[in-house]
A = this chain, B = another copy of it.
């Protein structure tokens, strides 16, 4: 295990210097969060992660969650982790004080989750999904449901899940068939199966609260007939005790990675004795769920970023300690009479380190930027709130899928730095390599995020979100010019022109009603667009760093700030050109993937 799994300085740099997040306390809801109290919270969570999470990371892979006699068993350390997380207020941290929360800004929530995920991504989902499930009840549930479920959930005594996926439907939620039949007492008889339910069962919670999508008998077909139910593993009797609710854990899926985090198969109502309680109105379940799914998408992006961050520091440490080979001298040869150099001296190793740094810090900046938009949406009013929301909507597919896709690339490069050792289980890189692979599938695959981006987010409100983004990017470009980062400022402006050009080219298909062509290369468009968005985030960071150096107003070392500017330059030189390639593909008139071809061509 490496000495370091994330960088507090970089986290604080983004929070305070880039995003000025501590100024959120000007809003009443967040009034208690000045920088001192935030720093105390960050330090407390880091200490928790150091002591209770990170030391168990490798072990949770080696001793995976398993299924036995109808129940799932997870690593024993999770008992302590859940208790401690609840004590620290990490389950439902954003909830109102009166609900037992801390009214923590979303921005700071993700700062903390980044620490936890970097330390041990197998363990954070349990509290995270419980928060998400409780939040659904908080937002849309009746007062009775809130009173019955939320306190137990944020105390860590009951776990929560989001139960969407069914075996026959997968990502196609319109094909959900789980059924809810109304019964006299106002509840519903639930039956059906759900698969891939993360955190769906284990030995350390007394009860599990499954926020479950199902169809009320006779509901319309498709997504318009889906309702949301609270379906507990054990239901609350009129006496306030718990009794079995006929929700059976049928299996735990064995996986390639994230093995400490269970993934269950649930069967509801096999004995006709499963009850659920409707959340909000009938047939509006998917709408409710989506509001929370957006949160979950930020969480997945954060998890992917954090795994790649930890992998980066592990490979950095190796590169600083491992001597091997020599540099080429001026004669073009290596002098074997010299000592071997540390591998960090080799340009290709530096390239792999800078690539990782540019991906993980760029992704972290974007996640925190998006989280802050979520806060502004909540605490601002009128247009300001609306605009923050629109921008967040536009960025969410990138927040989710850039870290997932490029995090894989980042960790791949980290593993490569270790050479043969990277492939052995004696070193930790291979675990990150396996763990992160799920993040481009969780909560809507990259393909689905890409369709969301191009098909829904780009055209929404006549492209208003895109216009808002363009405005923000132009502001950054202006500041970059002022800070002397003129070359990159101009480059980003050119790239913005390409975004407009390519987007316009694709929208023409949509206007002609040719949606097949419009969306066929959505995933390539995602690569194109996200490369641009991260470049913008890097320029934003570099402006702040450059200004800090120039004004000699540096909280951290000069090298720290220079490193940010340098990594921005690296990104612009090595990553940004990929937009040209993707743009070429997107502008191509051919559409091989929508042409009629038979499976015999493959």
Contacts and interface: CB of A to CB of B under 8 A. Distances in A.
A513 interface: yes
Contacts of A327: 516
A280 interface: no
Interface stretch (A124-132, A431-439, A477-485): A431-439
Given A221-B337, A254-B426, A420-B441, A601 B325 contact: no
A405 to B, nearest CB: 9
A165 interface: yes
A5 to B, nearest CB: 15
Given A171-B325, A350-B597, 19 more contacts: A175-B324, A175-B340, A196-B420, A253-B424, A254-B424, A256-B430, A263-B424, A344-B599, A344-B602, A346-B447, A347-B594, A351-B520, A354-B592, A560-B600, A569-B590, A573-B585, A577-B580, A577-B585, A581-B581
Interface residues of A, number: 105
Interface in A563-602: 563, 566, 569-570, 573-574, 577-582, 584-585, 588, 590, 592-594, 597-602
28 contacts: A172-B326, A174-B336, A175-B336, A221-B337, A223-B336, A263-B424, A328-B519, A330-B515, A331-B513, A346-B447, A347-B593, A347-B594, A348-B451, A350-B592, A351-B521, A351-B523, A412-B437, A416-B445, A420-B441, A430-B437, A560-B600, A563-B602, A566-B597, A566-B601, A573-B585, A573-B588, A573-B590, A577-B582
Contact of A441 (B353, B423, B451, B581): B423
Contacts of A522: 348
Name the 3 nearest CB pairs between A and B, nearest first. Answer: A222-B336, A559-B600, A563-B601
Interface string A378-418: 00000000000000000000000000000010001001100
A562 interface: yes
A580 B498 CA distance: 15
A448 to B, nearest CB: 9
Contacts of A457: none
Given A437-B415, A584-B577, A601-B562, A324 B570 contact: no
A497 to B, nearest CB: 16
A593 B350 contact: yes
Interface in A322-374: 322, 324-328, 330-332, 334, 336-337, 340, 344, 346-351, 353-354, 357
A529 B447 CA distance: 29
Nearest to A588: B573
A470 to B, nearest CB: 23
A440 interface: yes
Given A557-B600, A563-B601, A324 B430 contact: no
B425 A254 contact: yes
A181 interface: no
A420 B443 CA distance: 10
